[in-house]
Amino acid sequence: MKLRFCSLASGSSGNSYLVWTDTTAVVVDAGISGKKIQNGLEETGTQEILTGLLLTHEHVDHVKSVSTLAKRLPQMKVHATQGTWDNMEHTVSEEQRNILCEGEILTIGDLEVRVFALSHDAAQPVGYAFRHEGKQIAIVTDTGCYSEEILREAEEADLLVLEANHDVDMLRIGKYPWFLKQRVLSDVGHLSNEAAGNCLVELLKRRPKERLVCLAHLSRENNFPEMAYQTVKNILEDADYYIGNEVQLITLLRDGISGMCEL
């Protein structure tokens, strides 16, 4: 059976991803409308096998439709850390709620899911790595820096969703207020294009293998897809890694389905 991925939306205004096999589907974050998520499930044919919703943290661009989705799909478990549950306004039934811990490994259908800590200004943010029949997908967004734990969980990924939120110069001269610029640039903010490139180089050094990398969570105000792609490409080439050899590179759409892949 294949391990599959697609992004339903990936950007500062809303995020949601879908990971599935022939028998099990999970959604990661519900930061877009319930209707858009429903449309994505219908387009991929995964509504009947949807088993879980995994939340990375409580910010609205990741949890907007949690209650709506939980009510529409009562068979679905909603998984989040205690910190996320405590700081999220949206509620689900006790029967649907599951509390996660960093470092936990859980089984959802035929998916193994590893939970790892991120560095973001949320209560208890986490990323996820999914494994199925020797293939792995890792989702690393909403983190201001990459830690040893993040690198360890991402280095085996055949498909890596990696944040490339902003161009540092665009952010610094842009319209954001100073406090928000400081937040985004901090170690509990977001990875820049340059940081994404450096992270990818480190992963390739640690574990040479072919990967599909999906640049994600691009800022509408402080980035654009061509800049993110070219910045990461330049950093890779400076380290003697080349698109099409060690790595395939794409950028995910902010407001639509993209990155559909079968491993």
Q: Read off the pLDDT of residues 96-117 as tens digits, 9 standing for 90 and up.
A: 999 999 999 999 999 999 999 9
For residue 28, the model assigns a pLDDT of 98
Mean pLDDT of the chain: 96
Burial class (CB in 10 A: 0-12, 13-18, 19+), 160: buried
For every residue of 207-220, DSSP letters joined together read S---EEEEEE-B-S
Q: Give the residue-averaged pLDDT of 28-35.
A: 97
pLDDT above 70 coverage of the chain, percent:
100
Q: Find tokens 């395939």 and name the residue.
A: 248
- What's the gap between Cα 199 and its chain centre? 15
pLDDT digits (tens, 9 = 90+) for 181-211: 999 999 999 999 999 999 999 999 999 999 9
CA distances from 86 to 8, 50, 80 (A): 26, 25, 10
Computed on alpha carbons and rounded to an integer, the radius of gyration of the chain in Å comes to: 17
Torsion of CA 27, 32, 34, 36, to 10 degrees: -90
Q: What are phi and psi for residue 63, nearest 5 degrees?
A: -130, 10
| Domain chopping of the chain, boundaries | 4-262
pLDDT at 50: 96
Q: Which residues pair with 25 in a beta bridge?
A: 20, 50
Architecture of domain 4-262: 4-Layer Sandwich (3.60)
First to last CA, the chain: 9
Which pLDDT does position 245 carry in this prediction? 87
How does residue 91 score in pLDDT terms, banded at 50, 70 and 90?
confident
252 near 139, Cβ under 8 Å? Answer: no
Distance in angstroms (rounded) separating the CA atoms of residues 10 and 253: 6
The pTM score is: 0.97
